[in-house]
Structure 1
């Protein structure tokens, strides 16, 4: 009795299945994929490395074109607090952007819940309007917003231009449509059975929203809040028009500091790099703290 030399069907199919799966998911050949990955990483890491090294170098060394500092020093990080007035800008940015993030996330969640769970006249028009508002460039809204805020101060006797809450209203105007649309997309995927179970237990609409909808929508709420925070943190155009030196944001302080040093005998490039890193640190910390929720909120609804 001889043993059969025919391979098992299961064993013969398994390698081919793995190969087919690998080829199906691989968009580029492995050498090209490695090259593209290295190029993309270098495009991000090389400028970041240069900023870090320049912030640790002296102003003369950076102006002379040194990539690697001849001597490392932290003097630029101590000087920017007096030369760039960065502390005031960071405090103003944190206050305004945090309030915008919280308000847009909460208001967007409540608005999206009404748009998704209730049917009324004009509902589709509101949803289409939210998409249309995202296509309007912010530069076109600068003059109308400034005139509107100035008119409010003249007719109502309330100072809007130059205050933190005026800047808060401007940022909320642009952040709220995006936050609402993010929450609409997320809430469409939540099962209605959870809300029906809550109503059977005697819960009101507000209690369902607070106890069921908001906890389940936390990843999307974090995503909308972070994007609203970044909208205000990175803005220079509206902040430079709607603020004064006491209420200017970090972005305005950084751009003003960079512009005032262009005509100097020795531009303080090292201090500019240090100020840029300090201004970017809160955003990086925000991503690290909410990374888990951010990834879950961005991928939610991608697979049904």
Structure 2
């Protein structure tokens, strides 16, 4: 018998899957006419840049020209930037602000990472209540806590013989009271978006929980950590209320120094407006540099966790 060769069926080529269009979030600004968008952007830029531009111009003008309401300077002088360091203790205020705000930013970010990791990865009773409390604490005005915090720190002098009011340590603890809840919630939102499989793989390779936190979680959480640190830094840098109550002249921050400088110029024969404008620009410069350096981390950290 002869074998009959049966023809093999023709190979079918797999067709590529049809292109499925991805959903794109509609651009709200595209619904506006182009000229209207340009007008709105120009108005917003003017509201921000015009006051800042006038402050910059006034810082290079003599005090007489600023007091007369002159906008364009007749002469440009840099004496305001030289004399302001001797008129007020601006250098000491900047040093105190950098020390206090930097310590608050570092401590708040580190504690927020550890706390958020426990809240996200560890299941225990009361975890949901803690998360809700973090959100609820954001609605408490700081002015309501000024007197209780001052009384509590003053009592430490009487009962524990520890001086807290008037020290930088007391100011750091005060700012941590408000910075920790927000920083922890930012890190909770960010850590929820990290894949758990990376941590499980590290534990299979022999890493402990601390090793996973140090080698996996923290390196992948830099955008969230920087967001938490920057907002904690701004809380300490811009505060005037608590810094004016919890400090003495040697530990006053830059914001308090500017406030005192502005109050002393009221009712004088010729207020030092030029030096006041120059001091305001110098105090705002660290915040501007901070935003420019960490701008891309801030955008990535704020939007993390919003899409699953």
Where do residues 45-194 of structure 1 align in structure 2 (5 Å cutoff)?
Answer: 45-194=49-198
From the two aligned structures, give the one with the greater helix fraction: 1
Query: Partners of 2:306 and 2:129 in 1: how far apart?
Result: 25
Instruction: Please report how far the alpha carbon of residue 231 of structure 1 lies from its aligned counterpart in structure 2 after TM superposition.
Output: 0.3
User: Which consecutive residues of structure 1, in runs of 5 or more, have no partner in the other structure?
Assistant: 1-16
Instruction: Please report how far the alpha carbon of residue 23 of structure 1 lies from its aligned counterpart in structure 2 after TM superposition.
Output: 7.7
Structure (1 or 2) with the larger CA radius of gyration: 2
Conserved 8 A contact 2:29-2:37: no
| Matched residue, 1:4 | none
| Matched residue, 1:252 | 256
Query: Partners of 2:106 and 2:76 in 1: how far apart?
Result: 40
Query: Partners of 1:150 and 1:178 in 2: how far apart?
Result: 26
Give the ranges of 4+ consecutive aligned residues of structure 1 lying more than 6 Å apart after TM superposition: 20-24
SS where residue 178 of structure 1 aligns? helix
Instruction: Please report how far the alpha carbon of residue 285 of structure 1 lies from its aligned counterpart in structure 2 after TM superposition.
Output: 1.1
Aligned equivalent of 1:32, options 21, 30, 36: 36
Instruction: Please report how far the alpha carbon of residue 299 of structure 1 lies from its aligned counterpart in structure 2 after TM superposition.
Output: 1.9
| Matched residue, 1:297 | 301
SS where residue 93 of structure 2 aligns? helix
Distance 1:197 1:133, change over 3 A: same
**Deviation sequence 1:38-93 (CA, Å, 0-9, x none):** 10000001001000000011111100011111100111111111112100000000
Query: Partners of 1:74 and 1:298 in 2: how far apart?
Result: 40
Instruction: Please report how far the alpha carbon of residue 27 of structure 1 lies from its aligned counterpart in structure 2 after TM superposition.
Output: 3.3
Instruction: Please report how far the alpha carbon of residue 295 of structure 1 lies from its aligned counterpart in structure 2 after TM superposition.
Output: 1.5
| Matched residue, 1:5 | none
SS where residue 26 of structure 1 aligns? helix
Query: Partners of 2:102 and 2:69 in 1: how far apart?
Result: 38
- The TM-score normalised by the length of structure 2 is 0.90
SS where residue 189 of structure 2 aligns? helix
C-alpha root-mean-square deviation of aligned residues, in Å?
Answer: 1.6
User: Which consecutive residues of structure 2, in runs of 5 or more, have no partner in the other structure?
Assistant: 1-20
SS where residue 266 of structure 2 aligns? coil
Query: Partners of 2:187 and 2:54 in 1: how far apart?
Result: 39
Instruction: Please report how far the alpha carbon of residue 296 of structure 1 lies from its aligned counterpart in structure 2 after TM superposition.
Output: 1.2
